[in-house]
Chains A and B, each alone.
Chain A
């Protein structure tokens, strides 16, 4: 047989079209672009964010006009020439941006200067940048530190003693000592005002609420004394009797005579469920306590009023005392001043814009940075000092200066609370959908709906949160059901009784359905309809109850929960992130191999035991992935928060050492909103711009940190539940 020549390698080469090389290149290119964009973003944020706190040099600039000023050079750029022909040969004129501060002296804090106008430039060693409690920075040269010594005779003027002059060698050390002392005084004042006075105020408020509550109670007593309480008592007893009977009936029904199986175990679950339910019913009626007709007699109210008046007096005295102490320190504090001159007009930094003839108080100064006179080590010291202030201090000056501690704290708290709420809800929902619900049309529709919910614009959730959580649920918590819905007592009791009857019927039906082995769909349908009716009735009961007047009725019209707050923000964000968790949990659950489930069932495990011991642990890493995604989304979300709870400036943290420790009703600050507020809403947004970068950097860090935490947790779970065996 003649051998045909083997085909050469060349002729067999696969066409590049088949190998799709251009597509590969395209995909690679797209990836590169994506990575490059993300990297650029990150680099920008990191560079800008980290540069903010580095001390900038101070230039002493003299212009052709003879004017001199001090300024931090920020950037330089070409002057855009809009009119006239442009001469190509001449170098384009440039201009430089200086931050000149000294806003309280009436000048704009930033200044563009054409470079060719500058005649001389120097960096004087003694120029300082003063960071103050208010009015932004001040640039100038310190002259002297003074102490006012009040004269004994009130008519003669006070003496002013110069503690140190800038020519003296010990000026720096005196300055440091006096600054520290002044800061201590300021701290003491703050402490007194915010803590001591705050406590007194809080107690006064509590007192007021107590009296108000008692008065409302008295009002109700007067109103309700017409109808006898015996009706309510009878109804309540009937209710409890009914619950008990339903319990007994169910037990009878569920007692299984089981010849096939050793009669050691009886089905206890439904009986237990019913028991819990009747217990809940009993508890419900106890809490509503209709038989305890409110009994606030006039005498009792009067005596309460008297004790309250005494307490009020004591509190007021304490308040006075604290105020005196504050005033004393303040008076003392006013004696210590520093004169810092600026070169333009030779004026000094004033105490305030209105008191421009008084030099600034030492205690108004946060930090004095002699930026031109620092070696590298000192610069780093200033740098880290400012970072620690940023992390740990409260914001000042409409958030543009100082720290972001409350913002950071609230953001992290919000995110953690969010994951605590969303995890159980999402996992339970997904479990039900995947494990218990019948996989039919309805389940598919619900699943698709949930998937699409992830794409709903977040502001929609915000609107929903405001409308439903704050204004509906919150108001209910505050003041009970709205008066036009409240039923008369007897009709309310009829509702209550019908609820119990429905529950009873439902239980009978569902236990009958459970007894039948396979086909009992009719009974099941009736039972589930009964459940639905019961749920509706329970809601109706809550909405129309004549016995509940809200938990915070006394503090109305100031709403407590009926307004924007942490709780509603957490719930709104959970709603927003729920789809993410549900979808990933469902995926994780369905990825658990069915052989494992069968093994568990084969061992005689119930469905719930299989889920708890096999399915959930194996799905835990996947669930964690969903949590990570949800957290990342929740932490960065701003739009809905602006509607349901985040504010520019919250007076107090949502978590304090005062009971109830976690103040879910308070509004709070959020890093996302903070950034927006800094960049676009602040009066001096140019000065705030570096802070925007730094806050952004912080936000990214927080999100990354929280995610790392979750990823670490997931890795631990993975290690626990997986193997390297194939």
Chain B
């Protein structure tokens, strides 16, 4: 992993990807030492005949925020959804390769997908509160687990809402419909819903793309807080946001991993010129 391409001045890697050639991603050495939660191992994915992810290998370290960046349609959401096997819902999807969570396989016949998903919270690009009360929204994951005890549910609800910085705004209206909240509140509600069962990982797919700056900042602060306890994998289009919240950043292009390293490194001293061009907006 040397700095071979940073000075070449041509987008040769991207050209190669576009041409369909196999490329080696640049993975910074600084990442090798971290303790990993998720290990992606030569993972490829097809939607029917179209390959959306090409042989990606990367590690996601524990208790850090890892950002996925890249131009639209490069497979960030697909990769994210592959982690908790949400892609299984699409009939046409085929996969190759493996992912490991705490050294346990994700793609194996004996895996209980439901249990797997329970161990990961997911926040979507568009907030999707369920048509029920705020309280029921937050404790949904516990309810489907069969938790009935009121005190447990209430306790968990308050914790999750506090964790999502929403408690003070909704504590008096827990019983009213979640659809009556503002867009930003709804997104924070979704975060609360995702963290209520204390997952090991939080998967966030552009959580702030539909929000105003104030709400965005709130959620960014939130991410900074919750990374103490959870590992966060976040997809974002906003470079500043990636720089602000993430510890590590992976740059993807057309289903391939291009460069992956510590955020400061990626943003200040990228090893690939293309990465720098993308980050500074001179590309894409």
Contact = CB atoms under 8 A, between A and B. Distances in A.
Interface stretch (B25-33, B61-69, B128-136, B256-264): B128-136
A618 B129 CA distance: 12
Most chain A CB within a 10 A radius of its CB, from B107, B112, B120, B132: B112
Given A260-B110, A516-B109, A601 B86 contact: yes
A599 B124 contact: yes
Interface string A430-453: 000000001100000000000000
A604 B120 CA distance: 8
Interface string B105-131: 111111110111111111010101111
Given A595-B124, A725-B180, A603 B106 contact: no
B42 interface: no
A597 B86 CA distance: 11
B110 A257 contact: yes
Interface in A651-668: none
A536 interface: no
Interface in A543-598: 593, 595-598
A614 B203 CA distance: 21
B174 interface: no
Interface string A251-284: 0000011111110010100000000000000000
Nearest to A608: B144
A256 B110 contact: yes
Contacts of A515: 109-110
Contacts of A618: 131
B180 A723 contact: yes
Given A604-B118, A604-B141, A599 B108 contact: no
A233 interface: no
Nearest to A440: B91
A596 B122 CA distance: 12
Contacts of B101: 260
B193 interface: yes
A261 B111 contact: yes
Contacts of B105: 259-260
Nearest to A620: B131
A606 interface: yes
A394 B227 CA distance: 77
A262 B182 CA distance: 37
Contacts of B107: 517
Given A261-B104, A598-B124, A599-B130, A604 B144 contact: yes
Interface residues of A, number: 38
Interface in A671-726: 721-725
B104 A599 contact: no
Interface string A592-627: 010111111111111001000110011000000000
Given A618-B131, A723-B180, A725-B181, A258 B111 contact: yes
A602 B115 contact: no
A260 B130 contact: no
B116 A260 contact: yes
Nearest to A439: B91
Nearest to B193: A603
Interface string B134-156: 00000011011100000000000
A597 to B, nearest CB: 8
B181 A604 contact: no
B106 A602 contact: no
B82 interface: no
Interface in A14-54: none
Interface in B75-107: 84, 86, 89, 91, 94, 101, 104-107
A597 B117 CA distance: 14
A604 B144 CA distance: 8
B144 A260 contact: no
B53 interface: no
B245 interface: no
Interface in A202-258: 256-258
A603 B140 contact: yes
A602 B117 contact: yes
Contacts of B177: 723
Contacts of B108: 260, 517
B117 A256 contact: no
Contact of A602 (B84, B109, B131, B179): B84
Given A258-B110, A260-B110, A515-B109, A596 B89 contact: no
B3 to A, nearest CB: 39
Contacts of B144: 603-606, 609, 613
A265 B128 contact: no
B86 A600 contact: no
A602 B112 contact: no
B190 interface: yes
Contacts of A606: 114, 144
B89 A602 contact: no
Contacts of A257: 110
Q: Which of B105, B119, B131 has the most CB of A within 10 A?
A: B131
27 contacts: A256-B112, A259-B104, A260-B104, A260-B116, A516-B109, A517-B108, A597-B89, A598-B86, A598-B89, A598-B128, A599-B129, A601-B86, A602-B121, A602-B124, A602-B203, A603-B197, A604-B114, A604-B115, A604-B116, A604-B117, A604-B145, A605-B114, A606-B114, A721-B131, A722-B179, A725-B179, A725-B181
Given A260-B110, A599-B128, A617-B132, 17 more contacts: A259-B104, A260-B105, A260-B111, A261-B111, A261-B119, A517-B107, A593-B128, A595-B126, A596-B131, A599-B129, A602-B122, A604-B141, A606-B144, A613-B140, A613-B143, A613-B144, A725-B181
Interface of B: 84, 86, 89, 91, 94, 101, 104-112, 114-122, 124, 126, 128-132, 140-141, 143-145, 177, 179-182, 190, 193-194, 197, 203
> What are the 4 closest A-B residue pairs judged by CB atoms, nearest first?
A723-B179, A604-B118, A260-B104, A602-B122
